Structure 1
Amino acid sequence: MTIDQRSDFLSFLTRSRYIIFLILLLALGLRLYKSSVHGLYLDEKFTLVNTQGVSLEGANQHDVFFTPGKTYFTPREFWKPKPLKDYIRAIVQTDIGNSPAHYALLWAWIEVFGLSDLSIRMPSILFSTFIVGLVYLLVRRYLRSQPLALLCALLTAFEPFFIAYSHMARNYCMTIFMATLGTYLFLRILDRRAEDKQPVGLYIGYGLSFALATLGHYLAVTVFLCHGIYVLLYIRNFKTYVGLGLSFLGGMLGLIVPWFVFGGGKYTFQTLAYQAKLYGGLAQTNPLNNGFGIILPATLANVVKRSIPVWADLFLVSNGLSADTLAFRNLVIALGMGLIAVFLVHRFGRQRSVPTWVQVAVPVLLVAGFALYSVPSVRLVIAAALPLFFYLLYRAFGVYDSRPERRFLYLLLLLATVPTLFLIAIAFRNGHTYGITQRYSSFSFPYALILVGMIVQQVFRQPTYLRLTLGAVLLIQAYFIGDLLYRIYEDQAPKYTYYGRYRIENPYNTAAQRIKKLYAPGDTVLYPSARTAPRDEIENTFTKYSIIDAQYTNLYLPKDATYYQRMDTTQTDRIILIKGKTGERITIFDFEGTKYRY
C-alpha cells in the first residue's frame, strides 16, 4: 500500500466513525419516536407488576384486598414492602418463570428513573440501538468490509421488528442484544485461541452473556446451540473446548441453576408441559375460537403455512410476504418465475456481453405472473425477485475465499435458521403450531440482516440491466417497509404491536393523575370489578372478582397515600370518585368494556 493509499484508507476509517455515529443516532431517534404515545399493552402490564412483586388478582395481597371485614384499602397498603418470594411468585404467574434477568434489570432501572411508560420502555430502546452497533462490529471484523458493515448497520436501524419491540417494556431487545453479544464474544475467543492465548476475560464475558440471555428468554439458548454446532464442525482444540465448557458451566452454576432450583425456573417445565397439553388439545378440538388465538394441529401443511410469514419477516427483502394475503398458489407461481430468471442469469449472466433477450426476459419474468395471479398484488413482484436475491447471496459467498470468512458465513446461516427450525421441531413434538411466531424466532434477526446487507451490496455490483431491475424491486420493498413503520408508529400493525386500533395514552396513569388532583379527605375511589373467569390453572388465583384495574391504577398513586378505595362489584367499566361531603359520583375513567384495557 502506497503512502497515498494508506492516507485514503485512514481518511475513510475516520469518516466511517462519523457515519456509524450518525447511524446510531438515527436508530435511537427511530426508536424514541412515539415511544410513549401509546398506553401499555397486556404483556407490558405483566412486566410492570412483576417488577414490583405484585401478583395479578392479589395472590400475594390477600391482606390488602381480601381481609374479612375489611372494606377499604389504601395505596400505602398496596405498596407495602414485598419479600423476594413475591417477585418470584409474580414472574411464575405471568411469565411461567421466564425473563428474571430482564425483570431484575428493569427493577433497578425503575428505582432510579420511575414508572412512566417512557422510563420502563427505555431499556428496550437502548438495547435495540446497541444491536445496531453490534451488527456493525461483527461485519467489520469478520467480513472485513467497512462499507458493508455500515450498510448492515443502516438496515438494522430500520428493521421494523427492532423498532416495534423497542416500544415494548418486554425482554426481547435485551435478550437479543445479550445473545448477539455472546456471538461476538464467542468469535473473539476463537480469534484469541488461534493465537494460542487463553482469553480469561472473554470467557467470563461469554459465560455471563449466555446466562443473562438465557434468563432473559429461554429460547436464547438456540443461539448458543449454533455456537456449539460450529465448534463441533470446525474447532479441533482441546483447550478451546475446556475454556468454552467452563464458560457455560460458570453461567449455569452461577445464575441459571440457582434460578431453576430456588427461583421460579423450577415451575417452567411443568408449566410448559401443561401448556403443551392444553394447546395440543385445543388444536384438535377448538383451533379458532379458544381465547388464545389460532392454534392449528401440527400437520405438515399447517406448519408450512404458519412458518412462511415467520421466515419471510426475518429478511427485509421478503418482509410481509404471506400465503394468507397473497395466496399460496400465487407465491408458487411467482417463485417459479423467479427461478426461471435465476436460470437465465446463471446461464448467460457471466458472459462478457449479456444477450439482449436475456436483459429483456429477466424483468419481464418478474411481472409475467400477473397474467395468472388471482390477487394482482405488487408484492408478488418482490416474491418473484426472491430467487434472484438469494442467488446473489450465493454468489456473494463465493467472493469470500479465506477460511475464516467462509466459516463466519456458515455460522451466519446457522444463526439465521436454527431458531426458527427449533420452533418447527417443537411444534411437531407438541402437536400444535402456537409457538411458531415472529418474536420467538427473533434471535435470528441480526444475522438475517447481515445476509440482506450482502444481497443489497451484490445488487449494485451486477450488470446494468440486473442492477436496475433489482434496484427497482428494492425500492418497491422499501415503500412497503416504510408503510409498515408508519403503521407501527400509528399502532395499526397487529403482528408487531398486537393492536389493530390506535391506543390512547396509559389509561391507568391518566386515572391516577385525576385521582391525585380531585381526591379530598373523606372521598372514596371505586374500582370496577368483573367476575373472574380463569382459562387455566395459571390464571386461577381463587378470587371471585377481578382487582386488576385497582392494581394497575395503584401503581401510579403515591406510595404513602391514604386514599380510601374499594372494589365495586356492581359494575365493570368505570373508576368512580365519590365525594364524601356531597355524595357526588365523578367518573375518573370509563374503560368501555375491554376497549382501553388490552
Structure 2
Amino acid sequence: MTHTSIAAHQTISARRSSPVITPFPYTRLLLIGILLMALFLRLHKASVHGLYLDEKFTLVNTQGISLEGYNQHDVFFTPGKTYFTPKEFWKEKPLKDYIRAIIQTDIGNSPSHYALLWAWIKVFGLSDLSIRMPSILFSTLIVGLIFGMVRRYFRSEPLALICAALAAVEPFFIAYSHMARNYCMTIFLTLLGTYLFLRILDRRAEGKQPIGLYIAYGLSFALATLGHYLAITIFFCHGIYLLLFNRDLKTYIGMGMSYLGGVVSLVLPWFVFGGGKYTFQTLAYQAKLYGGLAHTNPYNNGFGIILPATVGNIVKKSIPIWSDLFLFSNGFSTETLAFRNLIIAFALGTAAVVIIHRFGSRAHDQNTPGWVKLAVPTLLVVGFALYTVQSARLLVAAAVPIFLYMLYLASIRYRAQSKRQFLVLLVLLTIVPTLFLILMAVRNGHTYGITQRYSGFSFPYAIILGGLILQRIFHQPLYLKVILAAVLLVQSYFIGELLYRIYEDQAPKYTYYGRYRIKNPYNTAAERIKAQYAPGDTVLYPSPRTAPRDEVENTYTRHSIIDAQYTNLYLPKDATYYQRLDTTQTDRIILVKGQSGKRVVIFDFEGTKYRY
C-alpha cells in the first residue's frame, strides 16, 4: 500500500469510527434565534455614530475620489475658476481614478472590498447604514459558518450552538460590524477558505478530485487577499497543516493549482497593473517612518503610540491582543492590571491547576477531597492580598490557567485522529496571525502593527476553542463547575460593560474614539444646504492649511479641500450649487445668501471636535 493510500485509508477509518453527530433538541430553532440575536446586536446603533477616519477613506475610494483633489484638478484647481458645483464634483471617473484613490488612502489594499461596496452603493445608496450593512451581514454570516464548521468537524450540535452563541456576542465582531471597512468581509472569506480547505481534504480522503471545491478555494484565497493582505496568514496555516498531516501528492498539486489560479486571475493583475504595485514601496516607506518615530517621538507623533520593538515593549503590546482573542480573558492589559499582578494571578491559577489535575478532577464531586474544594477558590482570591490593583479582572486572570486546562481535557478526550488534527489546525489559526505581527514588529523595529484589528482573522478559531472550554466545564465535578461559573459570571459583567461602551462610543480600542460621536456632520451639512440653498447663493467651505504626514498625502494644494469633498458626497449629483473654498477660516461651512449677503453658518466643526 502506498503512502497516499495509507493516509487516505487512515483518515477514512478515523472518520468511520467517529460517532454520529450528537443531536440537540430544537437545534434549528435555536440557531435561528442565535442568528437573529447576532443580527440585532450588530444593527443596534449601527448608524448613530458618524463615520470615523478610515470609513471616510472607504467612502471616497468607492467613488474614485482622491483626497485633496489629486484627480480633481479641473474641479478645484483650474486657474481663474472661482467656484465648483456638485455636478462637476460627481462627473464620471475612469478606472485609473479608483486605483489612484485606493493607492493614496489605503496603500493599494482592499480592492475586492471596494468593488463590492461600490456595487452595493449603486443599489442601496450612500447612507451611513447602507455602507456599513455589508459588514453587518458578513459579521452575522460568520456566526452561521462557525456553527456549520463545528457541527461538521466536531460532530456535536450542542458544541456548535455554544460556539455560535459566543460568536454572536463577541465584542470584536459587533464593533467591526459598525465599520464600513474590509475586516468583517475578509474574516468571513478566510473562514470560508478554511471550511473549503477541510472539505477538499474530506473529498481527497474519499479518493475524489473535487474540482469545484478547488476553484472555490482559490477564489476565496484571491478575494480574501485582495480584501486585506494579512489574510494570507490564514492560508499560510493551511499550508503548515498540509505539511504536518498530508502525504497525498495529488492534494498538493490540487491546492497548488488553486493558489495559482487565484493569483493569476485576480491577485497578480492587481499587483502588476493596479494599485498593488505601490504596496511594498509604501510599506517600506512606512516601516522607515514608524521606526524613526519609535525612537525619536513615540508618543506625540500623530499616529498614536509607536514604541521601539524591544522584548518588553512587544510583550506589553501583545498581551492585550492575545487576551482579547478569548471572551474569558478579554480586557487584560499591563496598563490597567500591571504585569506583576498578572504574573501573580497566573502563578496562583497554575497552582490550582496542579491540585485539580492531581486530586480534584474526578468524575463525581463526592469523591473530591474537601480540602481541594477549599484550596482551589482560595488560590483564586488569595492574590488580592498581594495585588497592587484591586480589580475583579484579576480573579478572572487567576482562573485563566484553569480554562486552558479545560482545553487540554477537551483535547485528550478526542480519540479520533481527524478531530485531534482539527484541533491542531485551530491552534495554528489562532496563534499564527499574531505571531506574524510580532515577527514584523521585530523586523521593522517598531510596535505600530501589533494591533487588534490585524489579529482579527484569528477570532473565529479562538471562539471555537472557547466553546470547547465551555463545553468541558459542564462535565467537571460540581465544586469546579460552581467556581468557574462564578468566574464566568464576573467576566460576563465586563463583557456586557464593554458592549455598552462600544455602543456608546467609549471603547477606543474597538471604536477608535473615547467620546460619543454625533451623527455624520457632512450628511447633516448637506441636508441643510439642500434645504436652504437658493439660486444666487454660495456655499463656503473651510480650507485650513494642509500638513501632509508622508509623501502619499502630499498633494498639489497647500489648503485642504477635504470638508468640501466629504460634503459633496451627500449633495445631489446633478446640482449646480455655487461652492467655493474659504481659506480665511478653518471650521465653518457657511451659506452666503445672494440677495442680502447674509452669512448663515451651516455647520461648525469646532476644530477637530466633529471631524473625527
TM-score in same-fold range (> 0.5): yes
Deviation at 1:22, TM superposition (A): 1.1
Match of 2:277 in 1: 266
Match of 1:167 in 2: 178
Equivalent residue letter for 2:32: F
Find the aligned partners of 2:345 and 2:97 in 1 and give their Cα distance.
55
Match of 2:476 in 1: 462
Decide which of 334, 340, 353 is 1:342's aligned counterpart. 353
Match of 1:493 in 2: 507
Find the aligned partners of 1:465 and 1:321 in 2 and give their Cα distance.
26
Match of 1:3 in 2: none
Map of 1:379-418 to 2, 5 A cutoff? 379-418=393-432
Deviation at 1:354, TM superposition (A): 1.2
Find the aligned partners of 2:414 and 2:285 in 1 and give their Cα distance.
48
Q: Secondary structure at the match of 2:423?
A: helix
Deviation at 1:12, TM superposition (A): 5.0
Match of 1:543 in 2: 557
Alpha carbons of structure 1 residues 212 and 10: separation in structure 2 relative to 1, 3 Å: closer
Deviant stretches of 4+, over 4 Å: 9-14
Match of 2:103 in 1: 92
1:110 has 2:124 as partner: no
Alpha carbons of structure 1 residues 86 and 226: separation in structure 2 relative to 1, 3 Å: same
Q: Secondary structure at the match of 1:577?
A: strand
Match of 2:545 in 1: 531
Find the aligned partners of 2:244 and 2:388 in 1 and give their Cα distance.
46
Decide which of 191, 194, 197 is 1:186's aligned counterpart. 197
Match of 1:43 in 2: 54
Deviation at 1:487, TM superposition (A): 0.5
Match of 1:321 in 2: 332
Deviation at 1:542, TM superposition (A): 2.5
Match of 2:246 in 1: 235
Match of 2:383 in 1: 369
1:251 has 2:251 as partner: no
Deviations 1:555-591 (A, max 9, x none): 0000000000000000000000000011111000000
How many correspondences in the alignment? Answer: 590
Match of 1:6 in 2: none
Decide which of 491, 497, 500 is 1:483's aligned counterpart. 497
Deviation at 1:459, TM superposition (A): 1.2
Q: Secondary structure at the match of 1:317?
A: helix
1:503 has 2:514 as partner: no
Q: Secondary structure at the match of 2:101?
A: helix
Q: Secondary structure at the match of 2:55?
A: helix
Decide which of 573, 580, 588 is 2:594's aligned counterpart. 580
Match of 1:309 in 2: 320
Find the aligned partners of 1:490 and 1:287 in 2 and give their Cα distance.
29
Find the aligned partners of 1:350 and 1:463 in 2 and give their Cα distance.
7
Deviation at 1:392, TM superposition (A): 0.7
Deviations 1:198-222 (A, max 9, x none): 1111111000000000000000000
Find the aligned partners of 2:553 and 2:380 in 1 and give their Cα distance.
51
Alpha carbons of structure 1 residues 168 and 110: separation in structure 2 relative to 1, 3 Å: same
Deviation at 1:284, TM superposition (A): 1.0
Equivalent residue letter for 2:130: S
Deviation at 1:81, TM superposition (A): 0.4
Equivalent residue letter for 1:425: L
Q: Answer yes or no: is the 8 Å Cα contact 2:349–2:401 preserved in 1.
A: yes
1:153 has 2:164 as partner: yes
Deviations 1:456-512 (A, max 9, x none): 111121111110000100011111000000110011100000000000000000000
Find the aligned partners of 1:103 and 1:578 in 2 and give their Cα distance.
36
Find the aligned partners of 2:420 and 2:502 in 1 and give their Cα distance.
37
Find the aligned partners of 1:412 and 1:392 in 2 and give their Cα distance.
16
CA RMSD after TM alignment? 1.0
Deviations 1:310-340 (A, max 9, x none): 0000011100011110001110111111011
Match of 1:357 in 2: 371
Find the aligned partners of 1:25 and 1:337 in 2 and give their Cα distance.
40
Find the aligned partners of 1:106 and 1:419 in 2 and give their Cα distance.
26
96-105 or 346-355, which deviates more: 346-355
Find the aligned partners of 1:356 and 1:536 in 2 and give their Cα distance.
66
1:29 has 2:40 as partner: yes
Equivalent residue letter for 1:317: F
What 5-or-longer segments of structure 2 have no aligned partner? Answer: 1-19
Alpha carbons of structure 1 residues 158 and 548: separation in structure 2 relative to 1, 3 Å: same
Deviation at 1:11, TM superposition (A): 12
Equivalent residue letter for 1:565: Q
